[in-house]
Chains A and B, each alone.
Chain A
Amino acid sequence: MSDVYLNEKFIGTIKNPFNFINEIKEERRKGKLAKELNVLYDENSDEVYLDFSKGRARRPLILVRDGKSLVTEEIKKELKDGKIKWSGLVERGIIEYLDASEEENSLVALNEDELTKDHTHLEVGKIVILGLTTAHVPFANFGQSPRLNRGSKTQKQALGLYSANFLVRMDTDSNILHYPQTPIVRTFMHDLTNYDQHPAGQNIIIALMSYEGYNMQDSIIINKGSVERGFARSTFFRPYVSEELRYSGGLVDEICIPDKDIKGYKSEENYKLLEEDGITYPEAEIAGEEVIIGKTSPPRFLGELEEFSIAANVRRESSSMIKHGEIGKVDAVMITENEEGNKLVQVRIRDQRIPEIGDKFASRHGQKGVIGSIVPETDMPFTSSGVIPDLIFSPHSLPSRMTVGHLLEILSGKIGSLAGRFIDGTAFDAEDEGDLRKELLSLGFREDGTEKLYNGVTGEEYKVNIFIGNMYYMKLKHMVANKLHARASGRIQLLTRQPIEGRSKGGGLRLGEMEKDCFVAHGASLLLKERFDSDKTLLYLCEECGMLAIVDKYRNRKFCPKCGSNVEITPIELSYAFKLLLDELKAMCIYPQLKLKSRYR
């Protein structure tokens, strides 16, 4: 007797579990039981589980009877003629959905020709071994698996048309590609996911060659002409939000141009973009440290301070400033109310991003790289028919990575653009390479995809034929404009007097321990000292006791708190961090004594 559970609840026992589950499956296939029902017989615990609860991941499989797929030639013909669709196959019990538990009782074949009598199901296609994004990689079965992983990872970072209503949305940090295209070389998954509706790349001409060494180590060279025609141009959007909050005691925030006498008033220059309502106008040019939404807040701790300070009831400044280092234009201003009925202001900033040196690009095969040089169109190599590549890719990126799909995509992309058709590059099911080559030959090109190219500067013919073709390229979200970072002087930490950290705060870049070692190894001793001068301080030392003395600048008096003013007090230059170390030593009852001697003796 085996126990039977329905949706994890015990409902009874059954004598012959095998017959029972087979009967259930048959009834379900006939349509007498719900298609959502899945059944599992666990032989170890002798229990039958029936389940039609929601939230289970299920996947479709073709049924197999006596070692033969139920998708027969007749059905294939019907499918071709459009007489039957997917839903019809499910209805007829040819395809069924299994959940993880029912799979335990099944034997699934990946290929039709490996079917045996024991098999119960057949996969719908070989592509199901790949995930959603990996299935978007054309000719994926020609590549190495780690490269496929990287290829699907880079596709997720590609800029494109993520949503058609982006103009009315206020997504944090979004990017829109200006002229997105649907790929010429596509997979079956592009149709399934409506890729045409939200493409994320462009079909470009790519040549596999080196050019003055500017595409070393995975960097790429792009054509300035292409950039000017709009290749890989994108817009970056960032919304800023401000809300009129209500506080206890009837006090509220106010969105306005802050008065000059409020606490924390910046400077008139910072507020110049604000209109009378305290909000910037659309299309306002933002060049740096400007306020976009002016706001004042009521003073903190009202009442307590009123007795002691006359300035206590002055309102505070709490405007929204543009993020450090960002520029752009005000794209849209939205004024509304939120759920609590507070006034809510959202201002969206837009910034056009034209490809520049350092922007990251990738093909769909895990071949990513940054722009090393943007070459004027006149200097780019060209073919005998006058075609100029948009991008020059280094051939050294290929042998060690073995991304054959990359090459096949270039080849088939060339055919696709010449013949004016899409090429199917679905993994395991792609168009045959031999046929593609023949087609290219019939189109009047060399079948291996190479062409004679001419040096764009000298006009000389290159001695070798160069592989050139079309390929789908993606601009990735990592752009130098978001990463560029330099600082001459700026804010410092209160405790250590060293520069603060972080790009967004305008901090410094740390010259760490290993970098220091590098300076030392080169013997650049004085340069190293200069680097570490960021926290240098002038201290006065009592030579009597070797501790820090006090300098009273008002009375122009130097003295040691221990030895008095009748001692030798000498100025010394040290890092402030070391002064802190001395202080900490003193706090642990260690007496650090500094003894001075002349440097020249």
Chain B
Amino acid sequence: METLTIKDVRKSYGEIEAVKGINFSVEEGEVFGLIGPNGSGKTTTLRMISTLLRLTTGSITVCGRDVAGEPDDVRKVISYLPEDAGAYKGLTGRSYLKFMAGFFADGEEFEKMVQKGMEIADLGDRIDSKIETYSKGMMRRLLIARAIMPSPKIAIMDEVTSGLDVVNAYEIREIIRGIAQKGVTVLLSSHNMFEVDMLCDRIAMINEGRIVLTGTPAELKEQYGAANLEEVFVRAVKE
């Protein structure tokens, strides 16, 4: 069953067309990687799916809900984690999770959601420290927890491990793998081809606003006779 369907989507910023008619779909429980060079239209695409940017033409459907026509309903089933996202620095980690959980639930369900968030963040006593004192890794764990705790149908993550050390990046990949196993659809963008290869069931490569490749990592490596996705990426961009 398709969780996300993108049909002939275009997005223009004035005279600049950032996305030039893209099509792809993501199945339920799939980890789907959207890769491409800087400025290729990845973030624009993720923002359109997340209801942050309006489509110029085309349609995006999330769990059967139209992004342009039913944005409020779409926001109930998605969770978006922007690249280099931050949190309200004056709050503690716990307060931040409570603030965010308040948009999804109340009563007992709310308490459970916050508890779940704290377990995912796994920050120990530091959950009660001000966010401004967190390291980049701690911050990212908190944000991942925020994104996952409401049990979204689809989690959209832009450069989720960018700038993290090996241990933090590994732990976050494990979290993503864990939620995918529980049936959450994940759409992620990354410049780390190793990470994409490890995590993604399927990949779409976008270049200059157009989808130029789609397939599983294995299919793409075979198609290009490449040893790894990095090689596939470089050759696809240069073609």
A and B: interacting chains: no
